[in-house]
Amino acid sequence: MPDKPSRPSPALALTNPRTNACANPLTNVLTNVLTMTGRSIRLSRRNVDALITALALPALLLLIFVYFFGGAIGGRTGTRYVTYVVPGVLLLCAGFGSSSTAVAVTEDLKGGIVDRFRSLDVSGTAILAGHVLASVARNLLATALVLALAFAIGFRPSASPAGWLAAVSVLVAFILALSWLSAAVGLLARSPEAAGGYTFFVSFLPYPSSAFVPTDTMPRWLAAFSDHQPVTPVIESLRSLLLAQPPGTAPWVALAWCGGILAGAVGVAGVLFRRRVG
């Protein structure tokens, strides 16, 4: 669009450093998302308590499952329990780790910073994407720690590099979907404390699944739920991919679930954002 001739143009406008950057909207969006991601990562790094929890809890959970429960449950899983349980622990951490996105989003809405971002023409999606991508980074770090610890206590996956790549892809899809869902929850919550309550719920979702025990050991109604909730296909994919077993349709079911949750969450979060700040 041409500049209006009638527009007041103080000397500043001529040298405005932003004039060039406005030329390519796509580059602008990318810069905004990357800048927001860098911000969220810095904020996560400085929230030391939360970071320690996010990194230490997964490691503790792995040890608890392997050494406290492993002896009792292990015999029924048909493999070494550490091998059986690692995918479950990875998911448990992913659920817990992504849900802190909700708290971060709620914290943002408490102050005036979202208005400042909007007045800089940063979209709601870019703000949320920053939190979500930082969540993915945090979770991948926690995942690496859990895997390292698992190796140390005897986890020996037999996956090929392609299997690893596929497993990590499924896990990232899951983290991405849950993080964006958390962002939507963060837009609904009226306080960081309320958003924290959601963390609790998500952390429980892996229990009624095949994460820690085979579902055929559960009561029939619970097994029915466990077999059909999104966590189970994700776990089955990770397990079969890491152990180089034929994964069947599990990865596709898992990706369909994650894609569906992600699409729904992005849409809902968009609407909620406009409603909350508009």
Rounded to an integer, what distance in angstroms lies between the CA atom of residue 12 and that of residue 2? Answer: 19
Q: Smallest distance from the beta carbon of 273 to another protein, in angstroms?
A: 12
> How many CA atoms, within 13 angstroms, populate the side-chain half-sphere of residue 245?
14
Residue 224 binds another protein, judged by CB under 8 A = no
Residue 154 binds another protein, judged by CB under 8 A = no
Q: Smallest distance from the beta carbon of 30 to another protein, in angstroms?
A: 11
Residue 16 binds another protein, judged by CB under 8 A = yes
Residue 76 binds another protein, judged by CB under 8 A = no
Handedness of CA 74, 80, 97, 234 (dihedral sign): negative
Among 17, 78, 161, 246, which residue interacts with another protein (rule: CB under 8 A)? 17
Q: Smallest distance from the beta carbon of 242 to another protein, in angstroms?
A: 36
Which pair of tokens denotes residue 73? 């449950």
Residue 26 binds another protein, judged by CB under 8 A = no
Nearer to another protein by C-beta: 42 or 76?
42
Residue 119 binds another protein, judged by CB under 8 A = yes
Residue 275 binds another protein, judged by CB under 8 A = yes
Residue 30 binds another protein, judged by CB under 8 A = no
Residue 179 near residue 40, CB atoms below 8 Å: no
Residue 41 binds another protein, judged by CB under 8 A = no
Residues between 92 and 111 that touch another protein (CB under 8 A)? 111
Nearer to another protein by C-beta: 18 or 228?
18
With b for 16 or more beta-carbon neighbours within 10 A and e for fewer, the 42-68 pattern comes to ebbeebeebbeebbebbbebbeebbee
Other CB atoms within a 10 A radius of the CB of residue 148 amount to: 11
Rounded to an integer, what distance in angstroms lies between the CA atom of residue 133 and that of residue 131? Answer: 6
Residue 32 binds another protein, judged by CB under 8 A = yes
Nearer to another protein by C-beta: 35 or 53?
35
Nearer to another protein by C-beta: 80 or 276?
276
Residue 88 near residue 211, CB atoms below 8 Å: yes
As a residue count, the chain comes to 278
Q: Smallest distance from the beta carbon of 226 to another protein, in angstroms?
A: 35
Which pair of tokens denotes residue 89? 């622990």
Nearer to another protein by C-beta: 120 or 152?
120
Phi-psi region of 79 (alpha: psi -120 to 50; beta: other; left: phi over 0): beta
The secondary structure of residue 16, as a DSSP letter, is: -
Query: For binding to another protein (CB under 8 A), which residues are involved?
Result: 4, 6-8, 10-13, 15-18, 20-22, 28, 31-32, 35-36, 38-39, 42-43, 46-47, 111-113, 115-122, 275, 277-278
